[in-house]
Structure 1
Amino acid sequence: MHEENGPWNQWRFEMEPGGPQHVGGDTPLLSGREWMIIALSGLMILNGWYFLGIITVNILILLILERKGVLDRWNATRVLGFILMIRTSRGQLTLEKISRPRRLWRWFGEFSLWLCAFILLITTTLITLSAITLLNQPTSQSLETSDVLLIPGVSNGIPLMWPLLALMVALVIHEYGHGIQMRAHGMRVRSFGLLIASMIPIGAFAEPEAREITQAPIRERMRTYAAGPAVNLVMAALLTVVLASTMMSIDPYDEGAYSPAIVVEGPSEAAGLLPYDIIIKVENASIGSASDLQNKLSQASAGDIWTMAVLPYDNGSWGNQIELEIILGDKHAHYLAMNVTPEMLEALDIKPGDPFMGVSGDGLGPAIQSTTGGRDRLIGPFAADLSASERILYGVTHPLQLLSIPLTFDGEVMASAEAAMLDVGPIHQEIINGIFWFWWINFLLGFANLIPVVPFDGGHLMRDAIRGSIQAVSNRISILHPQRMEIFATKTANVASLLFVGIFVLPILFRLVV
């Protein structure tokens, strides 16, 4: 809707002046300006400024295509010098058919508005807290530019194929969400468009008739803004169920328990236990899951000696069963040695004599996990053995845990050892990867677009919400002339938007520079 959402789908920037310059056969292959851009990009790459080098290469390619009239034939223009913007009128007939049940889509627009208002409150709170934290603790970890933009195949933890495909689909349904709301409220869509940089789609837009969108009632316009992110979030919710259903059909090769990390100089390290070694028996009692081992541990005391049957892990496979002997340590003494206060240990109900194996978690799960750990992490709140309170807790935290998975496991949906524990073929694994990345991109695109900063959808929602609130108050108490009230409301919304731009950009710039 005359928008692209940054970095993937932001409102359209103004085009650079000037059209394509057609050249004759005697024109040199490259102009002087283009040779300068080649030299500049080479210097940037040699100095390790790869991101800026890629931008200058994009500028060069688009300049050549523009000079040769190729962009004209594509109905495309340059945006900010290095981004290709392609417009098309295709999809209008499909849009009209989908948006025919007007009342249904207006209801969805109202639902979208309330959903996005709730998430907008969350993003506003998170951004504000982030800025406050930065002011109080300015020594934050630095960020790479590519990691801020989250580009498939470029940013750490984001591979190319599935995220790129998911991004293209997510952008399409996002813009169709805007377009459907426009048609449901009687507004026309002039064109759809795509923004491309380095062959990667980074944004899209549905362009309305400018006068219709600006003159539309505030609530109808807000529904239109909210529909795009809401479509992505609803799609992510559906994919959460699909992902869980797919994972439920997968079983491990061997039942047992393991730990993804071992405490240095702890009892498990002394016994010879390594990360991802599968414990299948303790004192001749079978261990089929993490709960079995935890129950066994709850009945033990510090100083007890266990004989464990273990399948040793070695570079993606498990060897024949071996026996290890472990002397359980004292958890209370261990934490005291780590400078944990006795008051804290008492609050955690850790007492002298409590057993301690010396194992640790990986940040995404407990210290002791079942061999179905990777599967269970993707199932989340849909696991069969959860209580009602656990299901609610997991439901709240599950999206955040899924978001962090590829960043923790370097672009994979689980650790390689966890995947090797599961009986899943390569085709099935690719299906799981596809579902996961479609969820990941849709959720992130919907959530990120509700940042309260223009050009994001959340910025436009916030600005219209401020204007609408001021207008409603002014109409009730009649303290301002309608024209003055409109000017005051617009200025207040713009000031608030600029304030949130500063709050949002400050932490990012600080981490990029420091």
Structure 2
Amino acid sequence: MMSGLLIFLILLLIWISAIYIFRNKESDSFSLWGPIVMWKTEKGKKLIERISKKEKFWKGYADFGIALSLFAMFATFALIIYNAYLSFLIPPENAPSPQMMIGLPGINPVIPLGYGILALAVAIIIHEFSHGILAMVGKIKVNALGLIFLIVPIGAFVEPDEEELEKVSRRKRSRVFAAGPTSNMFLAFVCAILFSSVMMGMISPKVNGVMISGEVEGSPFDIAGINPWSAITSFDGVEIKSIDDFNNIVKNIEPGKKFNATIFYEGRFFNASIVSGLVISNVVKDYPAYSAGLEVGDVLLRINGTEITPKTFSQVMNGTGAGDTINVEFLRYENGKMENHSVFVTLADKYDYYQEYNPDANKEEYRGKGFLGISTLPMGITALPMDYYRNRLMHPLSDRHSFFFYIALPFAGFSPFPEAFTSLFSTPFSPSVFWPLTNTLYWLFWLNFAIGTFNVLPAIPLDGGYIFRDGVSFLTSKIKRKWKDEKVKKVSSAVTTIFSFAVLFVIISIILIPRLRAIL
């Protein structure tokens, strides 16, 4: 069966071939930009004219849009500056690639092709038609409108008469420019409500238990063939109804012992034999555990003869000091089975580690404490309540972290939702309809939000650049009342140019700075 990408590439090849054959048949209505066909038409003007007749409504809408655009402008500009600051701190390998900064399906790897093209087309059409409506409300001539094709329609455009646009008042002009991003943000808001309050509100977990959202490679669950987005419904014969039930079982569980777990995955139950224990999830390079040969996936058994559980691990380590040598016993999966191992490890200073890697979290009480240099997870899995993600997606504004999680769903592999994840929930109607509709609503939200907030940045040729220029012009004319209009225009254009280059510089720096740090 051919993948969606292969089908797209075949269609693209056919499309480019057709364009090459008919390349000499351009007209006033059709023109080519490489593989893109632009179709100009007078059709649709009457529809825009009819819509624009409710002038009072549209003027109020656009005035609100100017205020919204200015707020979003400063918020988005502050956010990209903050991201530029973070580029000095994040590891180079975690830096965003240029493709990740481009919100186009087929280029950005996190945007699915089908949902992305549909949502992008809707976003551009809404954006451009809003410009056209406010142009007509402001009595500005619309020269043409039309569609842009790349195999399928991927957008639309409206061309207000540029000379007339320059002659109207700042307020009328700003209304035209603010209309596009405002409509994108409004549609994003509507789709977010439908996605969160309606779609997420209608699903419910199929089983009681805990959800496995992630697991350590080489851990007992991984070795047993249990995948993320499985649900644990019982452990050691005890039914698990909540995350508290699971935590109470594992916090004192005997390490290295085999237990039976009942797993629910993709609609079916099965039993699995799991080796229990506290699993190493990360080993800090060049610290004691790393030097002693401990690895991710190892199951801790004993330290200096004391059995290690999630409860006792911190107690044991808090009783050690920097420079102490401890004996660590652990299990490692080798040759098709769990093998016992034992190593001696000389501990580092916990204070020194935090001072190097996380100084803000460092404490004086850490000075002189023993530090092994590992992170751990009980059973080697991240276990969450069954309704954890549903609740977070239903309430994205409950806190800052929930909002950014909501925005970053595609980067977390959640949109479109994995089939194994969706199989954990009951839906009010056919899942084959429910989940594509849910994914469509999310991508309509995401791309409209992205296009709306990006377009209000104070940089020409973005809409926000023109709104910003008119705002600077207005303030300058009020402060310097004796200046002539030509001087005011020059100053506002110069300030806008500076900000335009600043925005470009900041965006480029987010990509380049981590990579330059890696080289230097």
Relative to the length of structure 2, the TM-score reads 0.69
1:205-220 equivalence runs, <5 A: 205-220=157-172
What is residue 156 of structure 1 aligned with on the other side?
A: 109
Q: CA deviation at 1:247?
A: 2.1
The change in CA–CA distance for 1:174 and 1:485 in structure 2 (over 3 A counts) is closer
Contact 1:266/1:357 (8 A) holds in 2: no
More displaced 10-residue stretch of structure 1: 333-342 or 221-230: 333-342
Between 177-186 and 54-63, the greater mean CA deviation after superposition: 54-63
The residue aligned with 1:99 is 52
Say whether 1:72 aligns with 2:27. Answer: yes
User: Would the aligned equivalents of 1:158 and 1:407 in 2 still touch at CA under 8 Å?
Assistant: no
CA-CA distance at 1:399 after TM superposition: 4.8
Measure how far apart 1:126 and its partner are: 2.8
Query: 2:215 and 2:348 mapped to 1: Cα distance?
Result: 16
Tell me which residue corresponds to 1:128.
81
CA contact (8 A) 1:78 1:85 kept: yes
Matches for 1:260-279 after TM superposition, within 5 Å: 260-263=213-216, 275-279=228-232
Contact between 2:117 and 2:154, CA under 8 Å: does it hold in 1?
A: no
AA at the equivalent of 1:205: F
Q: Secondary structure at the match of 2:490?
A: helix
**Structure-1 residue corresponding to 2:493:** 490
Deviation at 1:309, TM superposition (A): 6.6
Note if contact 1:178-1:227 (Cα within 8 Å) is conserved in structure 2.
Answer: yes
Amino acid at match of 1:407: F
Please state if 1:501 is matched with 2:458: no
- Relative to structure 1, the CA distance from residue 280 to residue 98 in structure 2 (aligned partners, 3 Å threshold; closer, same or farther) is same
- Distance change in 2, residues 1:322/1:169 (3 Å): same
Q: Does the residue aligned with 2:205 lie in a helix, a strand or coil?
A: coil
Alignment of 1:310 onto 2:261: yes
Instruction: Render the CA deviation track for 1:291-333: whole Å, top value 9, x for unaligned.
Output: 5545x479x568799997732366x454335675745324536
Determine the C-alpha separation between the residues in 2 that align with 1:511 and 1:282. 45
Q: 2:61 aligns with which of 108, 125, 131?
A: 108
Aligned residue runs from structure 1 range 123-272, under 5 A:
123-132=76-85, 134=87, 139=92, 146-196=99-149, 198-199=150-151, 203-244=155-196, 245-263=198-216
> Cα distance, 1:231 vs. partner?
0.8
Q: Secondary structure at the match of 2:31?
A: strand
Quote the residue 1:404 is aligned against: 408
Amino acid aligned to 1:241: I
- Aligned CA distance change for structure 1 residues 115 and 501 (closer, same or farther; 3 Å): same
Counterpart CA distance in 2 for 1:278 and 1:124 is 42
Report deviation, 1:468: 2.1
Q: Tell me the CA shift for residue 242 of structure 1.
A: 0.8
Unaligned runs of 5+ in 1: 1-53, 362-366, 382-390
Q: Secondary structure at the match of 1:191?
A: strand
In structure 1, C-alpha distance between the alignment counterparts of 2:255 and 2:165, rounded to whole Å: 73
Residue by residue, what CA displacement relative to the aligned partner does 1:153-208 show, whole Å, maximum 9, x if unpaired? Answer: 44312222222122212211111222222233332322223334x43655532211
Mapped partners of 1:248, 1:432: distance in 2: 11
Tell me what 2:434 maps to.
428
Residues 370-449 of structure 1 aligned to structure 2 (within 5 Å) = 370-381=385-396, 392-393=398-399, 396-409=400-413, 412-424=415-427, 425-449=431-455
Counterpart-to-counterpart distance in 2, 1:468 and 1:203: 33
Q: Is the 8 A contact 2:458 2:465 kept in 1?
A: yes
Give structure 2 stretches of 5+ with no counterpart: 1-10, 278-308, 319-346, 355-360, 371-375
Specify the alignment match of 2:72 in structure 1. Answer: 119
2:129/2:157 contact within 8 Å kept: no
Pair 455,193 (structure 1): closer, same or farther in 2 beyond 3 Å: farther
CA distance in 1 between counterparts of 2:391 and 2:259 reads: 25
Q: Distance in 2 between matches of 1:151 and 1:445?
A: 11
Matches of 1:449 and 1:235, distance apart in 2: 15
Structure 1 residue 370: deviation in Å? 2.2
Q: Is the 8 A contact 1:278 1:310 kept in 2?
A: no
Distance 1:248 1:416 in 2: 19
Give the 3-state SS of the residue equivalent to 1:259 in structure 2.
strand
TM-superposed deviation, 1:142: 7.0
Alignment counterpart, residue 319 of structure 1, candidates 255, 269, 272: 269
Please name the residue that 2:480 is paired with: 474
Secondary structure at the aligned position of 1:452 is classed as: coil
Find the aligned partners of 2:60 and 2:95 in 1 and give their Cα distance: 44
Change (3 A) 1:421 1:466: same
Report the RMSD for the aligned CA atoms in angstroms: 4.4
Residues 264 and 86 of structure 1: CA distance in aligned 2, closer, same or farther (over 3 Å)? closer
Residue 167 of structure 1 contacts residue 201 of structure 1 at CA under 8 Å; is this kept in 2?
Answer: no
| TM-score normalised over the length of structure 1 | 0.69
Q: Percent identity?
A: 21
* Counterpart in the other structure of 2:43: 90
Distance 1:240 1:85, change over 3 A: same
Deviation at 1:109, TM superposition (A): 1.0
Residues 99-131 of structure 1: per-residue CA shift (max 9 Å, x gap): 222122111112111111111112222333444
| Corresponding position of 1:18 | none
Deviation at 1:233, TM superposition (A): 1.0
Q: What amino acid is aligned across from residue 287 of structure 1 in structure 2?
A: I
Aligned-pair distance for 1:438? 1.7
1:33 alignment counterpart:
none
Closer, same or farther: CA 489–161 of 1 in aligned 2, 3 Å: closer
Deviation per CA, 1:4-37, whole angstroms, max 9, x where unpaired?
xxxxxxxxxxxxxxxxxxxxxxxxxxxxxxxxxx
* Larger displacement relative to structure 2 (127-136 or 237-246): 127-136
Distance in 2, matches of 1:488 and 1:497, equals 14
CA contact (8 A) 1:266 1:358 kept: no
Distance in 1 (alpha carbons) for counterparts of 2:317 and 2:223:
18
Cα displacement (A) at 1:372: 3.1
How far did 1:226 drift? 1.4
